[in-house]
A = this chain, B = another copy of it.
């Protein structure tokens, strides 16, 4: 279990690397689809393998509720339960537990929340999420953080930042699984001083990787990018960096240039289900009548099963009829689009041409529709 940077870009902070986990090696930078409850939305694990997914992320608190600790102990972990051979990240649930429909209350001890399945009351602490992630047996566990949404007072962020730091220390003490890596999370909203304070404190702890959380929640893009910079500045360059919840192709390409190695988001699949599909010439909204008789694939050079077989006209037809199968086909393309974007980024960093690739991508991605 290690992270090795194999090449650093000279013109940007981008880098490529090899991330070794207990279930194999990941080439960085990389994108992880979200497999919240054991399967991605409209996408099976076979499909994830087919489209060259290196790794995905699941959710500790949801797996704690269902199928639950007992069953995952029986199968000796989540990998066996779902039959996935490659690396798995698990998020603690710090983000989901703040959902107003589940959240009950929070103090320095932890979070009380309701099960969305049966309304039963549960408690999660920094220690308990570590314990549960040990049962899950994910390759990378995330600490429990105190994540605030984008609309709260500065005081709320101050409390949340201090609590995240205190909980990070408790997580380090609780974590004993030598086959699992543990990542710290930097919080602090869009506030420079809070981000910097949190980054410095998290960076002091012996985490295997460092994540930036609490962004892409509705704050202005500029503030988000600044908050990423404030955080990254104080994080050990040699450690792997994970920017949580960011899935727009533009944000990913910009963030790779800042030195981020790892991304996850429901964005590509959620967009796909609504008929928004990614192309290098910009996203397209497939419901528009102009795609009715376009007998070309979404992208001619895309190697995804959807592009290899089907035309925009066919996909438009199915989307207009609201056929569930089209959600499979479009989700396949959007996830594979991000994997290809990251594969190409790795090649460009290797060649030393990432900066011009990045510029060209950001220019072209705005053209269409």
Contacts and interface: CB of A to CB of B under 8 A. Distances in A.
Contact of A67 (B43, B81, B309, B317): B317
Interface in A41-96: 41-46, 66-67, 71, 74-75, 81-83
Contacts of A329: 44
B46 A325 contact: no
Interface in A322-368: 323-329
29 contacts: A37-B321, A37-B323, A38-B317, A38-B321, A38-B323, A39-B323, A39-B325, A39-B326, A41-B323, A41-B325, A42-B324, A42-B325, A44-B305, A44-B328, A46-B305, A46-B309, A66-B321, A67-B292, A67-B313, A67-B317, A71-B293, A71-B317, A75-B295, A75-B313, A81-B317, A82-B310, A324-B324, A324-B327, A328-B328
A328 B42 contact: yes
A19 interface: no
Nearest to A310: B83
Contacts of A66: 317, 320-321
Which residue among A38, A325, A328 has the maximum number of chain B CB atoms within 10 Å of its CB? A325
A191 interface: no
Interface of A: 37-46, 66-67, 71, 74-75, 81-83, 292-293, 295, 305, 309-311, 313-314, 317-318, 320-321, 323-329
Nearest to A75: B295
Contacts of A83: 309-311, 314
A311 B43 CA distance: 17
A329 B46 CA distance: 10
Contacts of A67: 292, 313, 317
A144 B12 CA distance: 67
B81 A313 contact: yes
A318 to B, nearest CB: 6
Given A37-B323, A44-B328, A324-B327, 16 more contacts: A37-B321, A39-B323, A40-B325, A42-B324, A42-B328, A44-B305, A67-B292, A71-B317, A74-B295, A75-B295, A75-B313, A81-B311, A82-B310, A82-B314, A83-B309, A328-B328
